[in-house]
Amino acid sequence: MPESTTLDRSVMKFRVTIGQRVLAALVFLSFLALSFSIVTTNRSSIAESKSLTSAEAPAASIIFTQRETLVYTVRLAQWIDMQIPRRDVQIARALLAQRLSVINDDGKSVGQEAPSAYLQALYVLDSLIDQSPSGILTPVERTNLLKVINPEMETLIDQARLLVTSYQLAVDNQLTHSAKASRNGDFFTLVLLILFMTLAVSWLGWVARTSIQQYRRSRNLVIAESERLQILAAELAAANLVVVELESLNASKNEFISNISHELRTPLTSIIGYVDVLATTIDFGGNPQLEEIFEVLDRNATILLSLVQSLLALSLLDSPNKRDTFKKIDLLEVLRDAIFIMDAEIQKKNITVTFNYDENDCYQISGDAGLLSQATINLIANAIKFTAAGTTIEIFVGRKPGKSLRDHITVAIADHGIGIPEDEMSMLFERFYRASNAVEEHIPGTGLGLAIVAKVVDFHDAKLSIESKLGEGTTFTIEFLEYLSPVEELVAGRKYGLLSEAIASIEEQSPESLKDKLHEYGGALAFYEFPELGEKLLALSRSIPEGFTGENVELMNQRDLLIKDMKAALPSEDEGEIDG
Amino acid sequence: MREELKMRRVTALAVALLLLAPGVTASHAATPSPAPTKNPYGASVPVDPPGPNDVVLTVTNHFKVIHFTLSTLKKLGTSQISIYEPFARVRQTFTVVSLAKIFKSANIPSSANLSTIALNDYIFNDTAQHFTDSLGDLAIARFGGPIPYDQGGPIRIIFPDKTAYSKNLSAWNWSLSEITVK
CATH of the domain at A376: 3.30.565.10
Whether B31 and chain A come into contact, CB under 8 Å, resolves to no
Identify the pLDDT of residue B147. Answer: 93
Q: Which residue among A484, A500, A534 closes a domain?
A: A484
User: How deeply is B165 buried, as exposed, middle or buried, from its count of CB atoms within 10 A (0-12, 13-18, 19+)?
Assistant: buried
Identify the pLDDT of residue A104. Answer: 82
Please tell me what DSSP assigns to residue A380: H
In chain B, at which residue ranges do the beta strands (DSSP E only) sit?
A: 55-61, 64-69, 79-85, 90-98, 113-118, 123-127, 137-142, 156-158, 176-181
Which residues on B lie below 8 Å from A127 (Cβ)? Answer: 44
- The tens place of each residue's pLDDT in chain A, 580 residues long, gives 444 444 555 555 667 788 888 888 998 998 998 888 888 878 877 777 776 666 665 677 888 888 889 899 999 999 999 999 999 999 999 999 999 998 887 788 888 888 888 888 899 899 889 888 888 988 888 888 888 888 888 888 888 888 777 777 777 777 777 777 777 778 888 888 998 999 899 989 988 888 888 888 888 888 998 999 999 999 999 999 998 888 888 777 777 777 777 777 778 888 888 888 887 888 777 778 888 888 888 878 877 887 787 777 777 777 665 566 788 899 999 999 999 988 888 998 899 999 999 999 889 998 888 888 889 998 998 899 888 888 899 999 999 876 666 789 999 999 988 888 888 888 888 878 888 877 777 777 778 888 889 988 988 889 999 999 888 899 999 999 888 877 777 777 777 788 888 888 888 878 888 888 888 888 888 877 788 888 888 888 888 888 888 788 888 888 888 888 888 887 765 444 444 3
Q: Is the distance from CB of A114 to CB of A163 less than 8 angstroms?
A: yes
- The rounded distance, in Å, linking the Cα atoms of A301 and A304 is 5
A98 to B88: CB separation less than 8 angstroms, yes or no: no
Q: Would you say the C-alpha torsion A524, A530, A536, A537 has a positive or negative sign?
A: negative
Identify the pLDDT of residue A13. Answer: 62
pTM for the full predicted model:
0.43
B151 to A90: CB separation less than 8 angstroms, yes or no: no
Question: Which position has the higher pLDDT, B83 or A9?
Answer: B83
Q: Is the distance from CB of B37 to CB of B84 less than 8 angstroms?
A: no
Whether B151 and chain A come into contact, CB under 8 Å, resolves to yes
| Maximum alpha-carbon separation in chain B | 89
In a domain, A380, yes or no: yes
- Who contacts A465 (Cβ-Cβ below 8 Å, separation ≥6)? A476, A477, A479, A580
> Do A340 and A480 sit in the same domain of this protein?
yes
> Do A520 and A441 sit in the same domain of this protein?
no
Q: Which residue among A438, A463, A484 closes a domain?
A: A484
CA A242 to chain centre: 39
In a domain, A182, yes or no: no
Identify any residues that bridge with A14 across adjacent strands, giving them in sequence order.
none
> Do A395 and A533 sit in the same domain of this protein?
no
Interface test with B, best of A101, A112, A118 (most B CBs within 10 A): A101
B24-44: average pLDDT: 57
Identify the pLDDT of residue B36. Answer: 52
> Do A384 and A459 sit in the same domain of this protein?
yes
Which residues on A lie below 8 Å from B50 (Cβ)? Answer: none
In a domain, A293, yes or no: no
Gap from B40 CA to chain A (nearest CA, Å): 7
B135-158: average pLDDT: 93
Whether B150 and chain A come into contact, CB under 8 Å, resolves to yes
Identify the pLDDT of residue A322. Answer: 56
What amino acid is encoded at A87 in this protein?
Answer: R
> Do A510 and A546 sit in the same domain of this protein?
yes
Give me the number of domains chain A comprises.
2
| Maximum alpha-carbon separation in chain A | 206
B45 to A90: CB separation less than 8 angstroms, yes or no: yes
> Do A415 and A349 sit in the same domain of this protein?
yes
In a domain, A371, yes or no: yes
Identify the pLDDT of residue B31. Answer: 36
Please tell me what DSSP assigns to residue A259: H
**Superfamily designation of domain B55-181:** Oxidoreductase, molybdopterin-binding domain (3.90.420.10)
In a domain, A234, yes or no: no
> Do A479 and A466 sit in the same domain of this protein?
yes
Whether B168 and chain A come into contact, CB under 8 Å, resolves to no
Identify the pLDDT of residue A403. Answer: 64
Q: What are phi and psi of A128, to 5 degrees?
A: -65, -40
> Do A354 and A458 sit in the same domain of this protein?
yes
Alpha helices, DSSP H only, in A81-138?
Answer: 86-101, 110-113, 116-131
In a domain, A501, yes or no: yes
- The rounded distance, in Å, linking the Cα atoms of A21 and A207 is 10
- The rounded distance, in Å, linking the Cα atoms of A559 and A551 is 13
> Do A444 and A506 sit in the same domain of this protein?
no
- Who contacts A466 (Cβ-Cβ below 8 Å, separation ≥6)? A420, A425, A428, A474, A475, A476, A477
A97 to B44: CB separation less than 8 angstroms, yes or no: no
Which residues on B lie below 8 Å from A103 (Cβ)? Answer: 87-89
Provide the edge-to-edge strand list for the sheet that holds B137-142: B79-85, B90-98, B137-142, B156-158
Please tell me what DSSP assigns to residue A352: E
In a domain, A365, yes or no: yes
Identify the pLDDT of residue A4. Answer: 46
Gap from B64 CA to chain A (nearest CA, Å): 26
Q: Is the distance from CB of B175 to CB of B149 less than 8 angstroms?
A: yes
Identify the pLDDT of residue A145. Answer: 86
Which residues on A lie below 8 Å from B151 (Cβ)? Answer: 98, 101
Nearest partner of A533 among A572, A573, A556, A567, judged by Cα: A567
> Do A527 and A424 sit in the same domain of this protein?
no
Nearest partner of A301 among A278, A277, A267, judged by Cα: A267
Kindly identify which residue of chain B lies nearest to residue A95, measuring between CA atoms. B150
Residues 45-104 of B with CB under 8 A from A: 45-48, 87-89
Q: Which residue among A438, A461, A484 closes a domain?
A: A484
Identify the pLDDT of residue B74. Answer: 93
B120 to A95: CB separation less than 8 angstroms, yes or no: yes
Question: Which position has the higher pLDDT, A103 or B98?
Answer: B98
A126 to B43: CB separation less than 8 angstroms, yes or no: yes
- The rounded distance, in Å, linking the Cα atoms of A550 and A64 is 97
Identify the pLDDT of residue A404. Answer: 64
Domain extents in chain B: 55-181
Whether residue B27 has pLDDT greater than 60: no
Of B39, B47, B120, the CB nearest to A71: B120
Cα angle: A97, vertex A101, A106; to 5 degrees: 150
Identify the pLDDT of residue A11. Answer: 54
> Do A383 and A457 sit in the same domain of this protein?
yes
B129-153: average pLDDT: 93
- The rounded distance, in Å, linking the Cα atoms of A192 and A326 is 89
Consecutive H or E run containing A327? strand A327-330
What amino acid is encoded at A38 in this protein?
Answer: I
A101 to B40: CB separation less than 8 angstroms, yes or no: yes
Consecutive H or E run containing B21? helix B2-30
Whether residue B54 has pLDDT greater than 80: yes
- For residue A479, what are the domain limits? 324-484
- Residues of chain A that touch chain B, judged by Cβ-Cβ distance less than 8 Å: 67-68, 71, 87, 90-98, 100-103, 109, 111, 119, 122-123, 126-127, 129-130
- Who contacts A21 (Cβ-Cβ below 8 Å, separation ≥6)? none
pLDDT band at B84 (very low <50, low <70, confident <90, very high): very high
A101 to B150: CB separation less than 8 angstroms, yes or no: yes
Of A71, A94, A122, the CB nearest to B47: A94
pLDDT band at B25 (very low <50, low <70, confident <90, very high): very low
pLDDT band at B21 (very low <50, low <70, confident <90, very high): very low
